[in-house]
């Protein structure tokens, strides 16, 4: 991470886990273990939609933001079951994850819908976290860089340089998600650096230097420090380890020193 140039963002992705009744013990377990945030570091928890209002209340004043895991590409209207960017920001949500690989794999998200959702999110105050990453067979075939740059380029169609600066990109190799297999710090750094050069080629170097690029995929309290020490890794998107206050606190503290 490069604290002079851009923010470090540690975001938990709770996926379809936790109940409203779990929030109190999570918050009281987490908060005493994390001290005030440094200017370069932000932390957030992305919860299921139904928990968002309660999570916003529970984390109020703590410095920990709250994010959603998905949103509609449409502004409003007859889209049963969907949630809009305006509805999220209206209740004080800070972040929204867009194009997580589980949404691409199980719910038909495409590069096109990711671009539409990003465009819609950027019309609101939400900070989008756009996920990209290769599958195991894509890595083994040697097309990681091509694939990830294609995903990044497709997501960013029509996005202005100033909107780019407030967009977070999460590099999440699909084979590392929830598997306990982490990319080596060097492999993760290599892809994050490649993503930054794609952004530099689409915009310019100063825009690329300002963009927060997270790593995600089995990040935990043991490997966070080494991953976060890489110059182009500016934080993490953390699934499993974000469900445990002790592990999540340790990762936040590794970034917030
Ligand atoms: P994991 O999930 O940390 O459990 O691998 C990361 C993610 O899917 O965002």
155-170 confidence digits (pLDDT tens): 999 999 999 999 999 9
- For residue 236, the cross-strand partners are 10, 215
Q: Tokens 């920001």 identify what position?
A: 89
Count Cβ atoms within 10 A of the Cβ of residue 43 and give its class: 0-12 exposed, 13-18 middle, 19 or more buried.
buried
216 lines ligand 1 (CB under 6 A): yes
**What is the distance between the alpha carbons of residues 95 and 129, in angstroms, rounded to a whole number?**
7
The predicted structure's pLDDT at residue 186:
97
Query: Does residue 190 carry a catalytic annotation?
Result: no
Token output for 240: 């499993």
Q: Which of 100, 102, 116, 221 is catalytic?
A: 100
Question: How far, in Å, is the centroid of ligand 1 from the Cα of 96?
Answer: 15
The predicted structure's pLDDT at residue 257:
84
**What is the distance between the alpha carbons of residues 89 and 96, in angstroms, rounded to a whole number?**
10
**What is the distance between the alpha carbons of residues 141 and 139, in angstroms, rounded to a whole number?**
5
Question: How far, in Å, is the centroid of ligand 1 from the Cα of 78?
Answer: 32
Token output for 10: 């540690």
Alpha carbon separation from 202 to 26, 44, 162, 172 (Å, rounded) = 41, 28, 13, 21
- For residue 169, the cross-strand partners are 130, 213
Answer whether 172's CB lies under 8 Å from 101's CB. yes
13 lines ligand 1 (CB under 6 A): yes
Query: Does residue 172 carry a catalytic annotation?
Result: yes
The predicted structure's pLDDT at residue 143:
97
Question: How far, in Å, is the centroid of ligand 1 from the Cα of 100?
Answer: 10
pLDDT in tens, 187-240: 999 999 999 999 999 999 999 999 999 999 999 999 999 999 999 999 999 999
**What is the distance between the alpha carbons of residues 207 and 161, in angstroms, rounded to a whole number?**
7
Low-confidence ranges of the chain (pLDDT < 70): none
Token output for 198: 């794609």
Q: Which of 109, 116, 134, 172 is catalytic?
A: 172
């Amino acid at each position: 991470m490069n604290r002079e140039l851009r923010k470090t963002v540690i975001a938990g992705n709770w996926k379809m886990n936790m109940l409203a009744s779990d929030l109190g013990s999570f918050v009281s377990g987490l908060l005493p273990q994390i001290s005030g945030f440094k200017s370069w570091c932000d932390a957030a928890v992305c919860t299921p939609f139904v928990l968002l209002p309660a999570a916003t209340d529970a984390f109020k004043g703590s410095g920990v933001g709250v994010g959603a895991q998905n949103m509609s590409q449409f502004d409003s209207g007859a889209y049963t079951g969907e949630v809009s960017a305006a509805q999220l920001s209206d209740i004080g949500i800070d972040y929204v994850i867009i194009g997580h690989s589980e949404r691409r794999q199980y719910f038909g998200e495409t590069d096109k819908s990711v671009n539409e959702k990003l465009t819609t999110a950027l019309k609101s105050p939400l900070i989008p976290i756009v996920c990209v990453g290769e599958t195991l067979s894509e890595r083994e075939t040697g097309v990681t860089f091509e694939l990830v740059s294609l995903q990044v380029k497709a997501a960013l169609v029509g996005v202005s340089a100033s909107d780019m600066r407030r967009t977070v990109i999460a590099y999440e190799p699909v084979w590392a998600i929830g598997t306990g297999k982490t990319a080596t710090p060097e492999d993760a750094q290599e892809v994050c650096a490649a993503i930054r050069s794609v952004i530099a080629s689409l915009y310019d170097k100063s825009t690329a230097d300002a963009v927060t690029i997270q790593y995600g995929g089995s990040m935990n309290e043991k490997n966070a420090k080494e991953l976060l020490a890489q110059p182009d890794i500016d934080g993490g998107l953390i699934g499993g380890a974000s469900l445990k206050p002790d592990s999540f606190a340790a990762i936040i503290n590794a970034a917030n020193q």
